[in-house]
Amino acid sequence: MDLVVHKYGGSSVASPALIRAAAQRIQATHAQGKQVVVVVSAMGRTTDHLIQLAQRTVPSPSPRELDMLLTTGERVSMSLLAMALEANGVPAISFTGSQSGILTDHTHNEAQILDIRPHRIQEALNDNKAVIIAGFQGVSPSREITTLGRGGSDTTAVALAAALGAQECVIFTDVEGLMTADPRLVEGARLIPRLDYDQALELAHLGAKMHPRSLDLARRHRVRLVIRSSRFDKFPGTLISEEEKVENPDIRGIATQSGYSYWEVEATLPQIATATKKTGITLRFFHATPRTVRFLCKSDFDGALRKALEAGALTNRSIADVAVVSAVGHGLSANPEILSTFLGALGAIETLLVSSSALSITAAVNTRDLKSAANQLHAMLVGQ
């Protein structure tokens, strides 16, 4: 019997009406004779509200107790969805992460999945039940409740699909699929019907609305992944799977990401490495000369980075409010015309840094120019 995994994000289960709509979709899948495992996030912005509640109670919540608090959000949505399915005549049962056999490391708030032992899930499936799983959570070897961090429910869904040998994993969300650009910036953005794992992962790393961690897991375990709308079944969504690669350049989309700062440091790369080694700060998009290193850093870490550089007596300057805009596809580095078109499309827009790889070309621009840059690149490289 075919088995499918569904995942519903917070916006897709944000109200009783939406939970009932999800139950109807699951009921239709179950009626086709398929086994169904469903992973759910907390309703709406529940997780954000719980974090705010903790911070209003104490300035720095204990990571362990924060995990205990946050996992309650998914328990609400999983039980309500199971109730809705039972009301529709579909036998269903809900499990927490620990009941599902999701074993993680000891790290609170950012745990990694070590293993999945889905004995209870399999027993319920054998009894013809739809199984509803709380996403974003697991249990450590010391039997502590843990959460998986940003994108944790997507990671749960893909990991379960791999462990159970699912036919496919469908991520239901509030958009129709992955788009050729952010539709909030580019009016002509359209659905990307199909991507391979490498292209999807590159888009996610550069700002597309998917979590790199879950995509990396899908690639490693060859999980067939579909991103589609939970509101409109007429949209087929985006299929992410293995795909034959050709040598012709193939631009699939324009990715954008804000919230960076641009840095110039009078130093060598080894000096930068020494100064930032123990900070935990990720630096990106390097350009180095014998005396100067240029790179980008997420703005949230500006203070810590400046402190580390000054502690190493490294002269530096930075520019705030920087964003990156990227063209993503296959065969980019093998075709010089793509880079020429990319740079030409930016026109008079000030470019602080340009980086390229086999899968992407990225430019750092001032945030005020991001919309213009994205539209010009989309028009020249992706078209209508």
Q: pLDDT at residue 247 above 60?
A: no
Select from 123, 119, 75, 127 the least CA-distant residue to 101: 119
Q: What is the percent of the chain where pLDDT is above 70?
A: 98
Please report the pLDDT score of residue 335 as a whole number: 78
Mean pLDDT of 188-213: 90
Domain with CATH 3.30.2130.10 in the chain: 250-382
Q: Find where tokens 């909030």 sit.
A: 184
Least confident of 84-88, 206-210, 373-377: 206-210
Q: Which helix (H) or strand (E) holds 284?
A: strand 283-288
CA–CA distance, 96 with 79 (Å, rounded to integer)? 10
Please report the pLDDT score of residue 249 as a whole number: 65
- Direct distance between the N- and C-terminal alpha carbons of the chain, in angstroms, rounded to an integer: 41
Q: pLDDT at residue 384 above 60?
A: no
Domain with CATH 3.40.1160.10 in the chain: 3-174
HEC profile for 69-118?
A: HHHHHHHHHHHHHHHHHHHCCCCEEEECCCCCCEEECCCCCCCCEEEECC
Please report the pLDDT score of residue 31 as a whole number: 96
HEC profile for 10-37?
A: HHHHCCHHHHHHHHHHHHHHHHCCCEEE
Q: pLDDT at residue 76 above 70?
A: yes
What superfamily would CATH give domain 3-174?
Acetylglutamate kinase-like (3.40.1160.10)
Q: pLDDT at residue 289 above 60?
A: yes
Are the C-beta atoms of residues 208 and 374 closer than 8 Å to each other? no
Assigned token pair, 211: 């979590």
Q: Does domain 250-382 have CATH number 3.30.2130.10?
A: yes
